[in-house]
Amino acid sequence: MNKWRCSACGYAFEGEAPPEKCPSCQSVCSFVDANCYIPDCGGGSL
Ligand SMILES: [Zn+2]
């Protein structure tokens, strides 16, 4: 399971692949890999 984060609104998504459209800001934004490489990833499940 990978973690992704919307680069526009910061919505966090967990799944195999990032969604085509962000459920939060409803825009086709670019999801960035957020597998907790950074302290402020907001995950904490690692
Ligand atoms: Zn978004």
| Model pLDDT for residues 1-46, shown as the tens digit of each residue | 888 888 889 888 888 888 888 989 998 878 888 776 656 656 555 4
Q: Radius of gyration over alpha carbons of the chain, in Å? A: 10
What is the per-residue pLDDT for 41? Answer: 55
CA of 11 to the centre of ligand 1 (A): 5
Neighbouring residues of the ion ligand 1, judged by CB less than 5 Å: 6, 8-9, 11, 22, 24-25, 29
What is the per-residue pLDDT for 43? Answer: 54
What is the per-residue pLDDT for 46? Answer: 46
18 CB neighbour count, 10 Å cutoff: 20
What is the per-residue pLDDT for 44? Answer: 52
CA of 37 to the centre of ligand 1 (A): 20
CA of 43 to the centre of ligand 1 (A): 17
Question: According to DSSP H, which parts of the chain are helical?
Answer: none
Strand partners, 6: 31
